[in-house]
Structure 1
Amino acid sequence: MNFILYDGIEWNKLFPITLTRPVSEIRLGLFSIKERWEKYIGKNVDCVITQPFLSDKFSKKEYSFFENILLINSSFLPNEELIQILSFLKENETIFFKEKMIAIKKNFSLEEENILSLFSKKYKKTYCVKQIIHIQYPWDIFINNETVLKKDFIFFTKGKKSFSLLGNNHVICKDKIFLEEDIKANNIVLNAQYGPIYIEKGVLIMEGSVIRGPVSIGKNAILNVGSKIYGGTTIAPFCKIGGEIFNSVIFSYSNKVHDGFLGNSILGEWCNLGAGTNISNLRNDYKKVTVWNYEKKIFSSTNLQFFGVIMGDHSKSAINTQFNTATIVGVSDNIFGYGFPPRYIPSFFLGGIQSKKRIPLNKVCETAEIVMNRRNKNFSVLDKKILEYLYQISDI
Structure 2
Amino acid sequence: MNFILYDGMEWKKLFPITLTRPVSEIRLGLFTIKERWEKYIGKKVDNIITQPFLSKKYTKKESYYFENILLINSAFLPNEELIQILFSLKENETIFFKEKMIAIKKNFFSWKENILSLYLKKYKKIYHVNKIIHIQYPWDIFINNGTVLKKDFLFFTNGKKSSSLLGNNHIICKDKIFLEEDIKTNNVVLNAQYGPIYIGKKVEIMEGAVIRGPVAIGEHTTLNVGAKIYGGTTIATFCKIGGEIFNSVIFSYSNKVHDGFLGNSILGEWCNLGAGTNISNLRNDYQKVTVWNYEKKDFIPTDLQFFGIIMGDHSKSAINTQFNTATIAGISDNIFGYGFPPRYIPSFSLGGIQNKKRIPFNKVCETAEIMMNRRNVNFSALERNILEYLYQLLDI
TM-score if structure 1 supplies the norm length? 0.98
Contact 2:349–2:355 (8 Å) recurs in 1: no
Distance 2:8 2:105 in 1: 16
Q: CA deviation at 1:354?
A: 2.7
**Letter aligned with residue 377 of structure 2:** K
Show the counterpart of 1:72.
72
Distance 1:375 1:104 in 2: 41
Distance 1:190 1:179 in 2: 11
Distance 1:219 1:354 in 2: 38
Show the counterpart of 2:181.
181
Distance 2:54 2:290 in 1: 30
**Letter aligned with residue 19 of structure 2:** L
Distance 2:133 2:189 in 1: 31
Distance 2:90 2:365 in 1: 47
Identical-pair percentage? 84
Kindly provide the CA deviation profile for residues 94-127 of structure 1, in whole angstroms up to 9, marking residues without a partner as x.
0111111100010334332454533554546521
Contact 1:4–1:69 (8 Å) recurs in 2: yes
Show the counterpart of 2:44.
44
Distance 2:114 2:224 in 1: 51
Q: Does 1:377 align with 2:372?
A: no
**Letter aligned with residue 56 of structure 2:** D
Q: Following superposition of structure 1 onto structure 2, how do residues 1-396 of structure 1 map, counting pairs within 5 Å?
A: 1-121=1-121, 123=123, 126-396=126-396
Deviates more, 1:153-162 or 1:113-122: 113-122
Instruction: Count the aligned residue pairs.
Output: 396
Change (3 A) 1:121 1:178: same
**Letter aligned with residue 198 of structure 1:** Y
CA RMSD after TM alignment:
1.1
Distance 2:314 2:273 in 1: 11
SS in 2 for 1:131: coil
Kindly provide the CA deviation profile for residues 25-69 of structure 1, in whole angstroms up to 9, marking residues without a partner as x.
000000000000000000001100000000000012252211110
Contact 1:96–1:125 (8 Å) recurs in 2: no
**Letter aligned with residue 386 of structure 1:** I
SS in 2 for 1:112: coil
Distance 1:30 1:390 in 2: 29
Contact 1:77–1:134 (8 Å) recurs in 2: yes
SS in 2 for 1:153: helix
Distance 2:102 2:152 in 1: 20
Q: CA deviation at 1:356?
A: 1.6
Distance 1:206 1:269 in 2: 23
**Letter aligned with residue 100 of structure 1:** K
**Letter aligned with residue 343 of structure 2:** R
Distance 2:35 2:107 in 1: 24
Distance 2:148 2:90 in 1: 29
Distance 2:137 2:215 in 1: 22
Distance 1:147 1:287 in 2: 25
Distance 2:338 2:379 in 1: 32
Distance 1:120 1:218 in 2: 41
Change (3 A) 1:50 1:336: same
Unaligned runs of 5+ in 2: none
Unaligned runs of 5+ in 1: none
SS in 1 for 2:107: strand
**Letter aligned with residue 111 of structure 1:** W
Contact 2:223–2:242 (8 Å) recurs in 1: yes
SS in 2 for 1:126: strand
